[in-house]
Structure 1
Amino acid sequence: MNKDKVKGSVDQVKGELKEQWGRLTDDQSQVAEGKMDKAKGKLKEGYGEVKDKLTD
């Protein structure tokens, strides 16, 4: 597992937390930020997987 996959997973968790906090506090900007962080994390994780496959 490379660092891109780890960072992607961390970003997804962080995004989920932000999104849930935004829903709890009724802060739509936090919800949007959380969704963006989750999407960014998924992209990083996907990039890491492709990178792993190419280096094997």
Structure 2
Amino acid sequence: MNNDIAAGKWKQLLGKAKTAWGKLTDDELVKVEGHAERLVGLIQERYGKTRDEAEREVRRWLDTHGPHH
């Protein structure tokens, strides 16, 4: 999975990511720096999801909010 988001765009999307995954802290989201793999790992860890579940969730979110929007 390589749907990384440019740093500037990621900063704009932090609020939407926080809304989608409220268990993630602001610091964690900042450290993701738009890297989809890091976001998947955090969601997997914090929410107890499988890697596949977390990847599907991030893909859906990126389809709505990602680099091409």
* TM norm structure 2: 0.31
Greater per-residue helix proportion: 1
Answer 1 or 2: higher relative contact order, Cα 8 Å, separation at least 6. 1
TM, length-normalised to structure 1: 0.36
Q: Which has the larger radius of gyration?
A: 1
